[in-house]
C-alpha cells in the first residue's frame, strides 16, 4: 500500500478568500441549545421539588389520606419524564404535554394546600406543634413552585417556537 503524500500548506482551490461564502449557523439553533440547557435545569429543580413532596407525604402519612396529594405527585413525575424526553428528542408534542401536565400538577398541589387550610399563627405561637410549623413550610415550598412553573412555561414555549421551522411568506 502506498502512503499518501502530505501536501504542505492549504488544499488546492482555497486561498482563504472564500470565507464569506461559508455556511453560517442560524441564530435560532443557538437559541434552541440555550433554551434546552435552561429547561434541563428547571426540570432538575422540579424533580427535587417532587422528591421533597414525596418525602413530605411519606413522613406525615398523607399518602393514606389525601388522594389529591398523591395525584399531584403522580402527574408531576409523569410531566417531568415527558419534559425530559421532549427536551432530549426535540419533540414539540411531548414538550406541549409537559407544559400542561406540570401545570396541572402544580394546581393540584396548590389545591391540596388550600383544601387543608392553614394560618400563619403557628409561627407566632410558641406552643404550636412542630407538625403545624412543618405544614406551613410545605405550603411555602408549594408556593415557590408557582414561579418555577411560570419560568418553565416561558422557557418551553420559547424552545418550541425556535424549534419550529420558519415558513417563507
Cα 154 to Cα 34, 35, 105, 140, 144: the distances in Å are 13, 10, 17, 22, 16
Annotated domain spans of the chain = 27-162
Written as nine digits, the cell of 169 is 411568506
Q: Which pLDDT value is given to residue 57?
A: 73
**Complete DSSP assignment for 32-68:** HHHHHHHHHHHHHHHHHHHHHHHHHHHHHTHHHH-HH
Task: Report whether 105 contacts 75 (CB < 8 A).
Answer: yes
Mean pLDDT of 114-118: 73
| Cα(14)–Cα(47) distance, integer angstroms | 52
Q: Which pLDDT value is given to residue 87?
A: 95
Written as nine digits, the cell of 127 is 406552643
Helix then strand then coil, in percent of the chain rounded to 5, is 75, 0, 25
Q: Which pLDDT value is given to residue 136?
A: 72
Q: Which pLDDT value is given to residue 61?
A: 66
Mean pLDDT of 138-156: 90
Q: Which pLDDT value is given to residue 58?
A: 78
- Summarised one tens digit per residue, pLDDT across range 12-70 is 656 666 666 666 677 888 899 999 999 999 999 999 988 887 887 777 765 566 788 88
Q: Which pLDDT value is given to residue 15?
A: 63
Q: Which pLDDT value is given to residue 70?
A: 85
- Summarised one tens digit per residue, pLDDT across range 118-135 is 655 545 555 556 666 667
* 160 has pLDDT over 90: yes
Cell numbers 414561579 correspond to 147
> Which of the two residues, 49 and 153, has the higher pLDDT score?
153
Kindly report the pTM of this predicted structure. 0.76
Q: Which pLDDT value is given to residue 75?
A: 95
Q: Which pLDDT value is given to residue 19?
A: 61
Amino acid at each position: 500500500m502506498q502512503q499518501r503524500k502530505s501536501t504542505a500548506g492549504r488544499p488546492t482551490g482555497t486561498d482563504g478568500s472564500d470565507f464569506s461564502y461559508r455556511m453560517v449557523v442560524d441564530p435560532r439553533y443557538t437559541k434552541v441549545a440555550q433554551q434546552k440547557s435552561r429547561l434541563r435545569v428547571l426540570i432538575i429543580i422540579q424533580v427535587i421539588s417532587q422528591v421533597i413532596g414525596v418525602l413530605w407525604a411519606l413522613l406525615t402519612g398523607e399518602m393514606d389520606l389525601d388522594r389529591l396529594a398523591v395525584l399531584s405527585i403522580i402527574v408531576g413525575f409523569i410531566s417531568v419524564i415527558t419534559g425530559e424526553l421532549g427536551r432530549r428528542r426535540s419533540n414539540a408534542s411531548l414538550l406541549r404535554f409537559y407544559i400542561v401536565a406540570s401545570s396541572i400538577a402544580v394546581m393540584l398541589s396548590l389545591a391540596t394546600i388550600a383544601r387543608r387550610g392553614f394560618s400563619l399563627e403557628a409561627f407566632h405561637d410558641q406552643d404550636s406543634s412542630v407538625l403545624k410549623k412543618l405544614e406551613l413550610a410545605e405550603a411555602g415550598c408549594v408556593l415557590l413552585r408557582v414561579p418555577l412553573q411560570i419560568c418553565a412555561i416561558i422557557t418551553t414555549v420559547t424552545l418550541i417556537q425556535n424549534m419550529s421551522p420558519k415558513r417563507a411568506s
